[in-house]
């Protein structure tokens, strides 16, 4: 379309306007060049052999990071994708033929993982490697390595495997405490065997809890919720911010829903990985109360109990910390360290936030109907 003056005559662009346009292009090019040089993250990531805790070293705040156009899904994918691996597994299972003869069949599985140090440790989900007999790790550059299980933790659905290789690309682990709801999130993994797939969305919510096993009551807590598409095979892959730092390990989806996926925050995953690498497992404090009943007014009236709120102990494990301290069948826990207790989660959280060897003060009501205090020294979970 041409340009015309108010009388309908073609407008002419003279030499002064040409000079102005040329100057603007030069200045604009210099500004863009300085922005790119100053803002695009480094492509090479230093190894993190000890998986140190995140340190606030003056990095951009989330608001500042999100306001910069230099960070993008493409930048994040280019930086992190080499560190995300495909994990192929084989598992033997016993089945019975039509004539009820036992047959051992081999089942294959797929998952993802993230290389977290130059020694070849790879962080993934526990359910990816549970009961497997063979692991093959495939890198983005095509290299393949046999993998061995260092250890796993069913309670957090995390595991560490190891490969022996040189010049392994190591992911940069971020600080999951700094992510904010609504910021872009990038999921990288191998859904349905489609190697190194990149999907994008946002951080939908924080501190979510989901039940992973109804029969055992296993619950994953403090999860990151995202609408970045996550599918089978993504498990163990990376959830990444647009500055190319891993802030979560993708772990679960809700099959009946769309756009609801979950990731384990990397700060928690880092602690679990350090424990597994050092001890081969996650050491946890142990109380030793085996069976409980959560009281309410109806149960208390039916059985003539002295209180209608608390945790009734049905049994304790012999020689456990609870048993040695004097807790037993019939005791009702009403407080721990002077904090009121009304649910099983109250007890579990109090124990898990403590350390092995810590002393906990239990206020209980026993058969005498009198309150007493019992001090339990927590042991290590067997």
CATH number reported for the structural domain that contains residue 225 in this entry: 2.40.10.10
Q: Are residues 335 and 271 in the same domain?
A: no
Task: Identify the DSSP state of 133.
Answer: S
Q: Are residues 310 and 342 in the same domain?
A: yes
Which residue in 84, 85, 134 sits closest to 109, CA to CA?
A: 134
64 occurs within a structural domain: no
Count of Cβ atoms closer than 10 Å to residue 259 Cβ? 15
Q: Are residues 269 and 290 in the same domain?
A: no
Q: What is the pLDDT of residue 282?
A: 92
Residues 6+ apart with CB under 8 A from 321: 286, 287, 288, 376, 377, 378, 379
| Residue ranges of the chain whose pLDDT lies below 50 | 1-48, 57-58, 69
Cα distance between residue 293 and residue 297, in whole Å: 13
Q: What is the pLDDT of residue 356?
A: 93
Q: What is the pLDDT of residue 108?
A: 87
Which residue numbers are catalytic? 127, 157, 235
pTM value is 0.73
Q: Are residues 253 and 290 in the same domain?
A: no
pLDDT tens string 5-42: 333 334 444 444 444 444 444 444 443 343 333 333 44
34 occurs within a structural domain: no
Domain span at residue 123 reads: 81-162
Q: Are residues 272 and 183 in the same domain?
A: yes
Phi, psi of 222 (to 5 degrees): 55, 40
Q: What is the pLDDT of residue 214?
A: 63
Q: Are residues 181 and 266 in the same domain?
A: yes
Domain tally for the chain?
3
Q: Are residues 225 and 312 in the same domain?
A: no
Count of Cβ atoms closer than 10 Å to residue 91 Cβ? 15
Q: What is the CATH number of the domain that holds 137?
A: 2.40.10.120
Helix (H, G, I), strand (E, B) or coil at 161: strand
Q: What is the pLDDT of residue 194?
A: 85
Cα distance between residue 176 and residue 163, in whole Å: 26
Structure tokens at 6: 């108010």
Q: Are residues 267 and 309 in the same domain?
A: no
Q: What is the pLDDT of residue 66?
A: 56
Q: What is the pLDDT of residue 62?
A: 57
349 occurs within a structural domain: yes
């Amino acid at each position: 379309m041409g340009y015309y003056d108010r009388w309908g005559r073609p407008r002419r662009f003279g030499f002064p306007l040409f000079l102005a346009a040329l100057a603007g292009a030069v200045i604009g090019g210099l500004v863009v060049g300085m922005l790119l040089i100053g803002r695009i993250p480094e492509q090479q990531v230093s190894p993190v052999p000890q998986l140190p805790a995140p340190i606030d070293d003056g990095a951009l705040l989330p608001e500042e990071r999100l306001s910069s156009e230099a960070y993008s899904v493409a930048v994040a994918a280019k930086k992190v994708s080499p560190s995300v691996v495909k994990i192929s597994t084989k598992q033997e299972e016993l089945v019975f033929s039509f004539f009820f003869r036992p047959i051992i069949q081999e089942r294959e599985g797929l998952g993802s993982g993230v290389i977290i140090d130059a020694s070849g440790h790879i962080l993934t989900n526990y359910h990816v490697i549970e009961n497997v007999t063979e692991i093959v790790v495939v890198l983005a550059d095509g290299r393949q390595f046999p993998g061995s299980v260092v250890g796993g933790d069913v309670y957090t659905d995390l595991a560490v495997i190891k490969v022996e290789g040189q010049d392994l690309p190591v992911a940069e682990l971020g600080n999951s405490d700094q992510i904010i709801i609504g910021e872009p999130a990038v999921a990288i993994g191998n859904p349905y065997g489609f190697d190194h797939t990149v999907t994008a969305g946002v951080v939908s919510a924080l501190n979510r809890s989901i039940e992973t096993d109804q029969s055992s009551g296993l619950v994953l807590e403090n999860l990151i919720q995202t609408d970045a598409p996550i599918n089978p095979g993504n498990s163990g892959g990376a959830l990444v911010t647009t500055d190319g730092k891993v802030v979560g390990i993708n772990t679960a989806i809700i099959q009946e829903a769309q756009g609801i996926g979950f990731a384990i925050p990397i700060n928690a995953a880092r602690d679990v990985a350090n424990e597994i690498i050092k001890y081969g497992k996650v050491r946890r404090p142990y109380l030793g109360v085996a069976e409980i009943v959560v009281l309410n007014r109806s149960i208390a009236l039916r059985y003539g109990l002295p209180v209608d709120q608390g945790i009734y102990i049905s049994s304790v494990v012999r020689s456990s910390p609870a048993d040695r301290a004097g807790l037993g069948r019939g005791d009702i826990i009403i407080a721990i360290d002077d904090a009121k207790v009304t649910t099983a989660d109250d007890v579990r959280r109090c124990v898990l936030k403590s350390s092995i060897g810590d002393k906990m003060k239990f206020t209980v009501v026993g058969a005498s109907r009198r309150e007493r205090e019992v001090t339990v020294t927590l042991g290590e979970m067997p």
